[in-house]
Structure 1
Amino acid sequence: MTIIHVPDRPVGTLTDAWRACVGTGRFNLALRKDYQDSLALVQSEIGFHHIRGHGLLGDDVGVHRPYEVSGERRLLHSFTYVDQVVDAYLALGIKPFLELGFMPSALASGDRTVFWWQGNITPPADHDEWADLVRGVVGHLVGRYGIEEVRTWPIEVWNEPNLAQFWSGDQDAYHRLYEASAHAVKEVDADLQVGGPSLSPGSDEWWAPFAEFVTARDVPVDFVSRHAYTTGPAQHVPFGTYQTLRAPSSLLEQFDAPRRHLEGTALAGLPVHITEFNSSYRPDNPVHDTAYNAAYLAPVLAAGGDLVDSFAYWTFSDTFEEVGIPTGIFHGGFGMLTHGQIKKPTYHLYAFMARMGSHLLARGADHLITRDDAGRITVLGWQPVGGTEDGPEPERHTLRLSVPVDAATAFVMRSSVNETEGNAWAAWREMGRPRFPTSRQLDALREAAEPVRRHTSVAVDGCRMNLELTLGRHEVTLVEIDPVRDESPPWVDDVRILGR
């Protein structure tokens, strides 16, 4: 097998696009303790910059509050829950990526809804009142948190309007909504960021009409957004879903789609945000709980920042209720964490990425290698995986590297997750798939979820170290290499510890 010769000098920069944003369940869920505990853990070990979810304007947040006085209809904008959620986010070092939706029922033109929690998907009955609502929300946030802060919060208009499940109007109706929303945002402050159209996969025919509309009518657009998933039609079973999968390269192709379709338009060159992505678009597909999912997404995290400005994993936590209240601890939820903060293999992929440096040394089909400012080299390795049609992966995958190290000896720490290591889902299956584990079982699952860690010292020959990594099935591994500066005093003799 070929040895990969890692260059001495950086060949580029690893951007933070992979953690610029993360997805979440609907806005109201952020009031729950389990949600906040999960987000605190994610922020302590990964540190996302922004968080995006649905439901900011839904009835369960209670912003839009019409009332009557002497038979006259009036409006109150109430921010009791908005302030609690945003305060909690900022305290954890994460900013909102605001999504304007869904429609408050008292402003809606119809009664069509989506999800178990019934988000209204109809256009506003009164676009002036909708614009007033947008101005009210954004203006309140500016007044509470300051204009310099809120200018760093992107504001996205609606969610997947190209799908009838999320928007009962047509494309022209979305354009009208976008126009009213964008102007309302800019009336609060011209430097606030507003964008869209937040398209789902498979609807690239929307790009050209959107670009033509906003250009012809001089509607503000500061960024464009879309989503990316790679699964086929849902094959439903009770409280679960199975789906086919395309190869992970399909995600990167979808990331690149907005730039391709907007080339030559007035929107070419705008920032591109992938405001949702994952393997499956279903919140009850067990693939999300597996080591395969982590290996599947590793090349996407390694290369996605070359294509877009952010790509938000959907979602950080299983505190999520689109198809109802989850029926068990492992239920195929989108989250990196289960309820109760059990870490899934995909969580570890992100935690490994968070330990990497910004100086890119090498990148390939099974590896990403960086150096940080202190000289520490990190190697993220993974077993390449394919989609449904590619068949099963082998039991082992080997990666051989020649790594530059400026010392006579290197300390090597390796952390791994695969089908049997660092894999709480595998342990849960071996337990008999308890739907509601006992306290003792939960403790065991949390222990089983931790990566397996190994460490050693390696001699360096001529400022280079040979590193051979054998990865198990669906493994993702992080190797951290630090130069050793030996500070052992001359009288130390470890052989004498036992007095021999």
Structure 2
Amino acid sequence: MTTSATEVPVQASGIFPDAWRRCVGTGRMELALRRDYQDSLAVIQREIGFRHIRGHGLFSDGMGIHRPYTWQGEERTHHSFTYLDQVVDAYLELGIRPFLELGFMPEALASGGQTVFWWRGNVTPPRDMGEWTAMVRATLRHLIDRYGLDEVRTWPIEVWNEPNLKDFWEGADEAAYHRLYEATAHAVKEVDAALQVGGPAISPGSDEWMVRFAEFAEKREVPVDFVSRHAYTSGPAQHVPFGVHQTLAPAERLLEQFATPRRQLQGTRFADVPVHITEFNSSYRPDNPIHDTAFHAAYMAPVLANGGDLVDSFSYWTFSDMFEEVGIPTALFHGGFGLLTHRQVKKPTFHLYAFLARMGEQLLARGDDHLVTRDTASGRVTVLAWAPVDETAVSAGPERHQVRLSVPVGGAGVYAHRSSVDEERGNAYAAWRELGSPRSPGSRALDLLHEAAEPARTHWRPAVTADGRVDLDLTLARHEVTLVELEPAADETPEWWDERRLLGREAQA
């Protein structure tokens, strides 16, 4: 049965929130010194343009900030910013600002030996809180001296990462985290009262931590300029060599997690502070092949279309597969978190973000399978549409999905341009599988993968109805995400043009 077209209103219902692009995640901070990382971030910024970037390891030994030494029999500490300057300089040159996560613990300052990840980030409290806060103050003062107070005031400062998990904070000791947060927040404000500090950066599964964090901060009058948490929808890991498989909950569960902090903080003095989802994805594992698929782009589409109504930012974890938490990746496609593989091969979810980056700020319509916007300056109307997914099986889901829209474009002529990714098109992972899953593709194979990663593109000149509308009848393949751009285009074809005469013959009557 053919469904009737949905009529998109002429008047915008409001502004489409850009919370989806306000932050993106990254592997540990020192990775930004590598060429592949910087090449990947340049691609991301050119085609998407995130505002902030957040990752672990600012204070881990790989960044070399905390440097104890002995002079004339006296124990001292030197704070060195050699690597930090290079990283932040590179970020700002690419138009992206740090979202500073304060962690992990420098080994010489740690109270214990517990570490996390292949690169051994120390997750124990400081053995000397005064020395920790001195490091925090010194780092922020250096950043202000180098980049200016007005600039650094725009960088949110988050205290630690997932302290509700014993893997990330020794014993998941809540009282110890509150002590760390209190001392750190006051240290931040000592540097400048307008710097933004927040937390508790909790993972899913311990939601009451947020409630108790708010109670603690209110009782102790501790500064909290924003709250943060993470969101994932995968089940327990089923391990295979160099990878995992996991079940997935419906994508709506991500939106439910986004909404939780605001609901929990109602009635507190933090009810109106910004809410940042500083990590989100389907799987919390950096070796789950689902991240590489067209399914994943279609799965994430409704989250990106709706998440900005619930939070101030939600940060995709991560922009690149330059990421080593479970070790150095063993193949080009290995299930990494990234929107890009190493060597900048674009995944389908990259294109979902790139499509959103081409959309306008006026929200015209939003449904279960579509989003329609208009650009104020140009009048260009954009339609993002996606096929529904079946999270119980990647091979399931409808083979075809119909989206019919009546879109207002005004009275002028219109040029239409459609870009699509699905199981076959714009899908480098599928091409890689057909190539035999080469672990280290040579130059020819890389060229093929870059080519296969580009969306399928079509263009045409649609008819405009008398009331200034274009009727779009979009047939979407399984797991397709498509962007249709409708741009005003005047017809300047000369009156003598006759395509029938391209071969030099007179047109037949």
TM bucket normalised to smaller: over 0.9
Q: Deviations over 1:165-197 (max 9, x none)?
A: 100040000000001110111000000000000
Structure 1 contact 228–278 (Cα < 8 Å) conserved: yes
Counterparts of 1:290 and 1:305 in 2: how far apart (Å)?
24
2:425 match: 421
Task: Find the counterpart in structure 1 of residue 197 from structure 2.
Answer: 194
AA aligned to 2:199 is: G
Hey, what's the Cα distance between the residues in 2 that align with 1:451 and 1:363? Answer: 23
- In the alignment of these two chains, the number of paired residues is 500
Secondary structure at 1:226 match in 2: strand
State how far apart, in whole Å, the 2-side matches of 1:203 and 1:386 are.
27
* 2:475 alignment partner AA: T
Q: Distance in 2 between matches of 1:255 and 1:423?
A: 29
Distance 1:3 1:468 in 2: 8
Which one-letter code corresponds to 1:140 in the other structure?
Answer: H
State how far apart, in whole Å, the 2-side matches of 1:461 and 1:216 are: 63
Name which of 256, 277, 280 aligns with 2:280. Answer: 277
Equivalent residue of 2:138, what SS? Answer: helix
Match of 2:490 among 485, 488, 491: 485
- Match of 1:135, SS? helix
Matched with 2:260 is 257
Residues 81-230 of structure 1: matches in 2 within 5 Å? 81-169=83-171, 170-230=173-233
Offset from partner CA, 1:279-334 (integer Å, 9 cap, x none): 10000000000001100000000010000000000000000000000000000000
User: 1: CA distance between counterparts of 2:393 and 2:334?
Assistant: 25
Q: Map 1:5-404 to 2 at 5 A.
A: 5-169=7-171, 170-373=173-376, 374-388=378-392, 392-404=396-408
CA distance in 2, matches of 1:294, 1:391: 14
Match of 1:498 in 2: 503
Residue identity matched to 2:24: V
Deviates more, 1:197-206 or 1:403-412: 403-412
Q: Secondary structure at the match of 1:458?
A: coil
Q: Distance in 1 between matches of 2:330 and 2:323?
A: 12
Q: Which runs of 5+ in 1 are unaligned?
A: none
- Pairwise CA RMSD: 1.0
CA distance in 1 between counterparts of 2:299 and 2:102 reads 31
Instruction: Say if 2:363 and 2:372, in contact at 8 Å, map to a contact too.
Output: yes
CA distance in 2, matches of 1:327, 1:5: 49
Q: What is the CA–CA distance in structure 2 between the aligned matches of 1:386 and 1:211, rounded to whole Å?
A: 37
SS in 2 for 1:312: strand
Calculate percent identity across the aligned residue pairs: 69
Q: Post-superposition shift, 1:464?
A: 1.4
Of residues 66-75 and 141-150 in structure 1, the stretch that sits farther from structure 2 once superposed is: 66-75
In 1, the alpha carbon distance for the partners of 2:393 and 2:175 equals 38
Whether 1:466 and 2:471 are equivalent positions in the alignment is: yes
> Equivalents in 1 of 2:395, 2:259: separation in Å?
26
Amino acid at match of 2:346: K
2:259 maps to amino acid: D
Instruction: Classify the secondary structure of the residue corresponding to 2:352.
Output: helix
What's the offset of the Cα at 1:68? 0.6
CA–CA separation in structure 1 for the residues paired with 2:242 and 2:369: 34
What's the TM-score once normalised by structure 2's chain length? 0.97
Alpha-carbon distance between aligned partners in 1 of 2:95 and 2:412, rounded to the nearest angstrom = 40
Q: Distance in 2 between matches of 1:210 and 1:102?
A: 20
Gaps of 5+ in 2: none
In 1, are the aligned partners of 2:30 and 2:83 still within 8 Å (CA)? yes
Distance 1:207 1:99 in 2: 18
Q: Is 1:410 paired with 2:414? A: yes
Q: In the TM superposition, what is the alpha-carbon distance from 1:484 to its structure 2 partner?
A: 2.4
Task: Look up the SS of the partner of 1:74 in the other structure.
Answer: strand
CA distance in 1, matches of 2:269, 2:210: 12
Partner Cα distance (2:503, 2:18) in 1: 49
Is the contact made by 2:295 and 2:394 (CA closer than 8 Å) also made in structure 1? Answer: no
Q: CA deviation at 1:408?
A: 4.9
CA displacement, residues 402-460 of structure 1 (integer Å, 9 cap, x when unaligned): 11121353211000000000000000011111111111000000000000000111111
Q: Distance in 2 between the 1:389 and 1:492 partners?
A: 53
Asked whether the 8 Å contact 2:53–2:98 carries over to 1, the reply is yes
Shift of 1:384: 1.5
Q: Which amino acid aligns with 1:401?
A: L
